[in-house]
Amino acid sequence: MSDSLKSALGEIRSGRTLLVLAEEDGPQEGMLCCAAELVTADAIAFMAVHGRGLVCLVVTPERMRKLGIRLLASDQGQAQPAFGASFEARQGVTTGISAADRATTIRTAVAEHTGPEHIVMPGHVIPVQACAGGVLARANLYEGALDLVRLAGCMPAAVGCTVLAPDGEVAGADVLGRLAREQGLCVVNLEDIVAERLRSETLVRRVGEAELPSALGGTFRAIVYENSIDRHQHMALVSGDLDPEAEVLVRVHSQCLTGDVLGSERCDCGDQLRKAVGIIADAGAGVIVYMHQEGRGIGLANKLRAYALQDQGRDTVEANLELGFKEDHRNYGVAAQILKDVGVRTIRLLTNNPRKLTGLERYGIRVVERVPLEVPARPGNLEYLRAKQEKMGHLLTGLSLAGR
């Protein structure tokens, strides 16, 4: 455990507020947080004055259900964070908006025997439902705040406030650093929380295993996994004998029913899978992690809705955004745990997507080389590939822009 994380856990146990920092594919962001069960009026006031963002109660899905709080429908679809309906303590508050009243509401909400009868809606406290699995499922600040409180041995509920700059924009590194110095805040990085959970927990379990000869090349040991994060089953296809000290050839492939099985030419997924199987078979050893993440994580039905929008002129990124999703909803925490379970720590990754490298490294997998996995473009997927290249940063060559 890092020294900064040890200090942070001590601060949480003492009821103090600290600063959690995250940097994911962009500028650094920060969140003030403390344990919900120990929150005070002073802590709420500090967050409101120095954080400037929305002061939220971050809870588990189980706590949200116990309180009877519904998640809010949103034009953002499944985009995070998952806000719930605002609420207030039924007793012990006046207007509900004061720092003291909000602290009372929060402590009421996380008390052991609290249920729907102890709160009223709407109110002045906004709940956020953290993702099941915490930072190992989604490495962002809300999950980080909740996991930090949990690691400190407190009730799994946190109070969090994203830090804004004086001009109202999300605070960057300079503002966050100045806040920490001037207020004497303990600072912990989200990566330290992820690393500690990866060190101390295993969230995947094997549920089936068999030899699988492949017409695409070679014989694989197929291992099916369930996990404590989502409802899906994922699979590792292991070729040859893996040396835990070696730099293992790996492909992390997201399921694509239309491309992998039906041979759809709207994407390059099936072609990539077939090529990856051949490369690993020729190498004599390697792993394909086949993830149940259809449509870059939005699911089969939504992928087909995105296809319909593409038929109307949107590209693959625009279609996702119009449906209320991020351009890429995938997460690589489960994939990293599967790789570790089969004995892989250092890899050569078959991919054209640089985000996949950082995604796996965030969860403790060392990527020493990106091995290109380019396949010939087809008339039906040329614009799709161009959009991935131009808008998602995929490292592709040979896609002529002439005639556009």
Rg of the chain, C-alpha, whole Å: 23
328 is catalytic: yes
Q: Tell me the C-alpha distance between 393 and 390, whole Å.
A: 6
Query: Residue 347 and residue 160: Cα distance in Å, rounded?
Result: 36
Other beta carbons within 10 angstroms of residue 283's beta carbon come to 14
| Distance, C-alpha 365 to centroid of its chain | 16
Q: Are 271 and 375 in contact (CB under 8 A)?
A: yes
Instruction: Give CA–CA dist 124/107, Å, rounded.
Output: 14
Helix (H, G, I), strand (E, B), or coil: what is residue 265? Answer: coil
CA neighbor of 123 nearest in space, from 62, 39, 67: 67
- Measured distance CA(80)–CA(40) in Å, rounded: 27
Return the bridge partners of 89, or none: 119
| DSSP for 176-212, written as a single string | HHHHHHHHT--EEEHHHHHHHHHHH---EEEEEEEEE
Separation of alpha carbons 242 and 235, rounded Å: 17
> 257, 300 in Cβ contact below 8 A?
yes
Cβ contacts of 313-317, under 8 Å, gap ≥ 24 = 315/383, 315/384, 315/386, 315/387, 315/391, 316/384, 316/387, 316/388, 317/387, 317/391, 317/392
Task: Output the CA angle 76-82-86, nearest 5 degrees.
Answer: 110
Letter string b/e over residues 102-120, b meaning 16 or more CB atoms within 10 A of that residue's CB:
bbbbbbbbbeeebeeebbe
Active-site choice (296, 328, 362, 386): 328
Q: Among residues 296, 330, 362, 386, which one is catalytic?
A: 330
Q: CB neighbours of 380 closer than 8 A, spacing ≥ 6?
A: 264, 265, 266
Provide the annotated active-site residues. Answer: 328, 330
